[in-house]
Chain A
Amino acid sequence: MSDYLVSIEHERLSFFTPAGEVKALNDVSFQVKQGEVLGIVGESGSGKSVTAYSLMGLTAYPGKLLGGSLDFNGHHINDMTEKQMQKIRGNEISIIFQDPMTSLNPVYTIGNQIREVIKLHTDKSKSEVQARAVELLELVGINEPERRLRQYPHELSGGMRQRVMIAIALACEPKLLIADEPTTALDVTIQAQILELMMSLKDKMGMAILMITHDLGVVASMCDRIAVMYAGNIVEYGTTDDIFYSPKHEYTKGLIRSIPRMDSKGHERLIPIEGTPVDLLNPPKGCPFASRCDKCMRICLREKAPVMYFGDVHYTSCWMNQKAELEGGTKE
């Protein structure tokens, strides 16, 4: 266990809303090693972000952790008080958000917002803090850092602001960086730059990254491992190669089928996944994907499939695999 930086076991989390209990996470487990990049993919509402936020203790009211254990870098997150969490946040574990346009406070300068987090977690002197802020901006590839520090967020472009967010996140050299769809709000050329920057910083600083995205292109190029989430469950987990070259869950297969391909012949249509996501107020008893699955069997509606391993890392819970095994299909 101890060689994992992050270890989440059987996490269950619900939001208690006026409409009822929204079961956002149902039995989520995964591990991240030091310096590893884990991609969490899934559609909106599948629980990607909630998983990450719960690791930072940011799923406050009406969210409630119902079960499981969360361990991070020797801390047992479940038992930590808000005060203890504040010492970790922004220090050992940082996050960059989806929309850099709104994630910085408009009424304070960039410098103020970067220095704030350095001052909070270190006891550097004023000039050291300033020097660190300049260094950070250089690190994330912003030129004229002294001048930029005096500017306000509205004076910078979206890509620049995301670089500033990264600088803030990396200010205290975190062990884990959570990237919550960091490139969704940026245009494509900037996306590539930001991803490249993140990867180079990862190599420099040796942190692990939890990459939350619905962009399969991003995970393919960046991640060591991938967790595919659907309706608050991890439906499939494996190395990037496992997921892209031998997907085992019908949902993963559907996702892969829906990616446009460079090598497609003629004018093939993309194959979408039909239907709509399940209602987490009333999650189905069986496989959450059953209602949209074109290979759905009777048992899929009744019962969740047990976890089945293919090799050391790659696992999934889909009845189709059980069926294939019973029928003497190949096991990889």
Chain B
Amino acid sequence: MVRYILKRLGLAIVTIWIVATLTFFLMNMVPGGPFLSEKAVSPKALATLEEKYGLDKPLFEQYITYMKGAVHGDFGDSLKQRGRTVMSIITTKFPVSARVGGLAVLFSFLLGVPLGCISALNRGKAGDNAIIVIATCGIAVPSFVVCTVLMYIFGVRLKWLPTLGLSTWKNYIMPIAALAFYPTAYITRLMRSSMLDVLGQDYMRTARAKGLNQFISLFKHALRNAVLPVVTYLGPLLAYTVTGSFIVEKIFTIPGLGGEFIGSITSRDYTVIMGTTIFLAALMVIMNVIVDIVYKLVDPRIKLK
């Protein structure tokens, strides 16, 4: 187990290095630069700026410099947010996104799994149909629509919930609902189909033949087998969701990391692009290692090599 984790961590470093390298060169291949969008920068000022941030050097040299810094934990300064390091942007904004995103994932898991089970157990009946319709909507409706509709109903019409910021616990409800809507629907559908599959398995018949009641055969024998696909989905979902959503954070004016991803790309804030991308990649790799370990705990047939 320890050897496996060490091996995976070794591979993780290689993965992150590849992601960083690809991002670095792709980002520089895109026309434009961090200082071009500002109005009427004189050629002289531009040259000075580029010299200051080392952008006048050959690309490969820039790459080596950046990588040397990154290895030592120095991801540079933001090119657009004066006086802020990339590290400080991530450390101040990630906790905000992580809190909202983590809760959203937690709720979607706690809601999606039971809904999927209920749906599977009542297959073809009214309850199942209702759940399927809602789940299909959840997958089809984009998050900006969910945000807007929630905001209009609960914020503007009913005035139950505040529409911006994160000052009280009430502020969390709508962003979490908006973020959790799609994953809940997805987990419900995933859980329903895997539960249906498991319910038809021979060992479920064995469980009934032993004289177990429905409750035990469901919770002990079915759930553990049926939850595997959800676990697989949960890893990447968590990595994506805790790093924030651009749309949801924009609409509810949440000072999270999600905005930085898109914002840094449009403004060609090279160091922030690199920093956030490496951060997401690292998180994703770690989540996948965790998923694999959880997998092994849930299903003993899986061998970690």
Instruction: Point out residues on A near B: beta carbons under 8 Å.
Output: 56, 58, 83, 85-91, 94-95, 97, 99, 102-109, 116-117, 120-121, 152, 154, 165, 168
Residues of B within 8 A of A91 (CB): 211
Contact in complex: A94, B209 (CB < 8 Å): yes
Residues of A within 8 A of B299 (CB): 106-107
In the bound complex, how far is the Cα of B7 from the Cα of A324, in angstroms?
81
Known contacts A152-B300, A152-B301, A154-B301, A104 near B210 by CB under 8 Å: no
Known contacts A106-B225, A107-B298, A107-B299, A86 near B203 by CB under 8 Å: no
In the bound complex, how far is the Cα of B301 from the Cα of A107, in angstroms?
7
Contact in complex: A105, B210 (CB < 8 Å): no
Contact in complex: B211, A58 (CB < 8 Å): no
Known: A90-B211, A99-B202. 15 other contacts (CB 8 A): A56-B209, A58-B209, A87-B211, A89-B208, A97-B202, A97-B205, A102-B203, A105-B203, A105-B206, A105-B221, A107-B301, A108-B221, A116-B212, A120-B210, A121-B211
Known contacts A107-B299, A152-B301, A102 near B212 by CB under 8 Å: no
Query: Which B residue's beta carbon lies closest to that of A109?
Result: B300
In the bound complex, how far is the Cα of B208 from the Cα of A58, in angstroms?
8
CB within 8 A of A116: which of B205, B210, B298? Answer: B210
Residues of A within 8 A of B213 (CB): 83, 86
DSSP class of B's interface residues: helix, strand, loop or mixed? helix
In the bound complex, how far is the Cα of B221 from the Cα of A322, in angstroms?
53
Known contacts A97-B202, A152-B300, A152-B301, A107 near B212 by CB under 8 Å: no
Known contacts A102-B201, A154-B301, A107 near B225 by CB under 8 Å: yes
Query: Which B residue's beta carbon lies closest to that of A91?
Result: B211
Residues of A within 8 A of B208 (CB): 58, 89
Chain B contacts with A in 191-244, Cβ cutoff 8 A: 201-203, 205-213, 220-221, 224-225
Contact in complex: A89, B209 (CB < 8 Å): yes
Chain B proximity of A210: nearest CB distance (Å): 13
Residues of A within 8 A of B210 (CB): 89-90, 116-117, 120, 168
Chain B proximity of A173: nearest CB distance (Å): 14
In the bound complex, how far is the Cα of B210 from the Cα of A168, in angstroms?
8
5 A-B interface contacts by CB (under 8 A): A91-B211, A97-B202, A105-B206, A105-B221, A120-B211
In the bound complex, how far is the Cα of B209 from the Cα of A244, in angstroms?
33
Residues of A within 8 A of B209 (CB): 56, 58, 89-90, 94-95, 97
In the bound complex, how far is the Cα of B206 from the Cα of A106, in angstroms?
12
Known contacts A105-B221, A152-B300, A117 near B202 by CB under 8 Å: no
Q: Which of A58, A85, A90 has the most CB of B within 10 A?
A: A90
Residues of A within 8 A of B225 (CB): 105-107
In the bound complex, how far is the Cα of B220 from the Cα of A88, in angstroms?
20
Contact in complex: A58, B206 (CB < 8 Å): no
Residues of B within 8 A of A120 (CB): 210-212
Chain A proximity of B207: nearest CB distance (Å): 7
Chain B contacts with A in 291-305, Cβ cutoff 8 A: 298-301
Chain B proximity of A132: nearest CB distance (Å): 15
In the bound complex, how far is the Cα of B210 from the Cα of A87, in angstroms?
9
Query: Which A residue's beta carbon lies closest to that of B213?
Result: A86
Query: Which A residue's beta carbon lies closest to that of B228?
Result: A107
Chain B proximity of A95: nearest CB distance (Å): 5
Chain B proximity of A115: nearest CB distance (Å): 11
Residues of B within 8 A of A87 (CB): 211
In the bound complex, how far is the Cα of B212 from the Cα of A87, in angstroms?
9
Contact in complex: A105, B207 (CB < 8 Å): yes
Contact in complex: A104, B203 (CB < 8 Å): yes
Residues of A within 8 A of B203 (CB): 102-106
Contact in complex: B211, A86 (CB < 8 Å): yes
Q: Which of B208, B213, B298 has the most CB of A within 10 A?
A: B208
In the bound complex, how far is the Cα of B211 from the Cα of A94, in angstroms?
9
**7 closest A-B pairs (Cβ-Cβ)?**
A89-B211, A90-B211, A90-B210, A102-B202, A105-B203, A103-B202, A117-B210
Chain A proximity of B219: nearest CB distance (Å): 13
Residues of B within 8 A of A116 (CB): 210, 212
Contact in complex: A103, B211 (CB < 8 Å): no
In the bound complex, how far is the Cα of B210 from the Cα of A56, in angstroms?
10
Chain B proximity of A256: nearest CB distance (Å): 32
Residues of A within 8 A of B220 (CB): 108
Query: Which B residue's beta carbon lies closest to that of A95?
Result: B209
Residues of B within 8 A of A97 (CB): 202, 205-206, 209
Chain B proximity of A56: nearest CB distance (Å): 6
Chain B contacts with A in 155-212, Cβ cutoff 8 A: 201-203, 205-212
In the bound complex, how far is the Cα of B207 from the Cα of A91, in angstroms?
13
Query: Which B residue's beta carbon lies closest to that of A102?
Result: B202
Chain B proximity of A322: nearest CB distance (Å): 41
Query: Which A residue's beta carbon lies closest to that of B206?
Result: A103
Chain B contacts with A in 242-280, Cβ cutoff 8 A: none
In the bound complex, how far is the Cα of B212 from the Cα of A108, in angstroms?
15
Residues of B within 8 A of A121 (CB): 211
Chain B proximity of A182: nearest CB distance (Å): 13
In the bound complex, how far is the Cα of B209 from the Cα of A90, in angstroms?
6
Chain A proximity of B112: nearest CB distance (Å): 21
In the bound complex, how far is the Cα of B206 from the Cα of A105, in angstroms?
9
Interface string of B60-82 (1 = CB under 8 A from A): 00000000000000000000000
Chain A proximity of B263: nearest CB distance (Å): 45
In the bound complex, how far is the Cα of B109 from the Cα of A114, in angstroms?
32
Query: Which B residue's beta carbon lies closest to that of A172?
Result: B211
Chain B proximity of A10: nearest CB distance (Å): 25
Residues of A within 8 A of B202 (CB): 97, 99, 102-103
Residues of B within 8 A of A108 (CB): 220-221
